[in-house]
Amino acid sequence: MNKPPPSKPHEITELLEKWSGGNQAALDQLYPLVYEELRRLARSYMRREPKGHTLQTTALINEAYVRLVDQHSVRWQNRSHFFAISAQIMRRILVDHARQHLQAKRGGGAKRISLDEVMIVAKERSEEVLMLDEALANLARLDPRRSQVVELRYFAGLNNSEIASVLQISENTVMRDWNLARAWLYQKLSETA
């Protein structure tokens, strides 16, 4: 069965509280803790799930949340924050894996990576993930909210209603933001291709 979470729920909950309260240093401490947990869960998911089973990022983040955050003392706003930070982390994990995977395929990979790590991002999607990550960084400079909508949907796998509640906007706005951001990203990627 599952190992116990690596850190005390209270610690993460407190850090979330502090971060929600505007303490940026708390985010620096929070980041590695959540990162470790998500990465560990992602790997165990890959081992656990039979081939052909749909793997959902939201399920993963939900599980991380349940395991990391002290449910009794957490305020509901913190959940939104948790999802926002998890989306960023998932993005980093996925981009790192995609990069390693492409290096390994080209034979230039300096370090060996285990099979289950490679499998997290499907082979044919590695390139898409890397290109999108870059284009999304450009979009974030132009329009941070719309870029966050894409991050939450593409990297964290959230649906429109979940995104709406994380960003505190309506579902209609999420849909419109998504259409615009996706068109913009498509345009950027087809320009560079």
Partner 1 sequence: MEPERWAQVSRIFNSAIELDSEARDAYVERECGADESLAHEVKRLIENHQKASAQDFIAEPAFANQSSSESKTLAAGQRLGPYLILQHLGTGGMGEVYLATDARLDRRVALKVLSPELAHDKRRMQRFQQEARMASALNQPNILTIFEFGEINSLNLLATEYIEGQTLRQYLRSHKLKLSEILDISIQILSALDAAHEAKIVHRDIKPENVMIRSRDHVVKVLDFGLAKPTESGSSTHASDLEGDTQYKTAAGTVLGTVNYMSPEQAQGFAVDERTDLWSTGVVIYEMVTGQMPFKGRTKSHILVDILENEPVSLSEVSTFAIPDELTRIVDKALAKQLDERYQTAKDMLIDLRKLRKQLDVEAEMRRSVGPALVAKSQTTMSIAGTPTVETGGLQTSKAIKYVILLFAAIVVGGGIWFATKLRHVQEPPSQTTAAPVTKQSLTYSITVQKYRNNKPFEEPFQLAKEMLFERDYQIRLNVNGPKSGYLYILNEGPHEKGKAAEFVVLFPSPKSNGGSALINDNERIHIPENSWITFDQEKGTERVWLVFCQKAVADLEPIRGFVNDETKGLITDSSVSDRVQQFLRSHSTDKPTVEQNTEQRQTRITSTSDILVHAIDLEHQ
C-alpha–C-alpha distance, residues 81 and 77, integer Å = 7
Among 13, 57, 100, 148, binds partner 1 (CB under 8 A): 57
* Residue choice 70, 96, 128, 134 for contact with partner 1 (CB under 8 A): 128
Q: Please give the torsion angle defined by the CA atoms of residues 107, 96, 3 and 24, in that order, rounded to the nearest 10 degrees.
A: 160
8 Å CB contact between 5 and 38 = no
Interface stretch with partner 1, choices 9-17, 24-32, 102-110, 125-133 (CB under 8 A): 125-133
Is residue 16 a contact point for partner 1 (CB under 8 A)? no
Report the first-to-last Cα separation within the chain, whole angstroms.
45
Shortest Cβ distance from residue 34 to partner 1 (Å)? 15
**Residues 67, 71, 72, 77, CA torsion sign:** positive
Q: Summarize as ranges the residues that interact with partner 1 (CB under 8 A).
A: 42, 51-60, 62-63, 66, 71-72, 75-76, 79-80, 90, 94, 119-122, 124-125, 128-129, 132, 142-143, 150, 153-157, 161-162, 165, 168-173, 176, 179-180, 182-187, 190
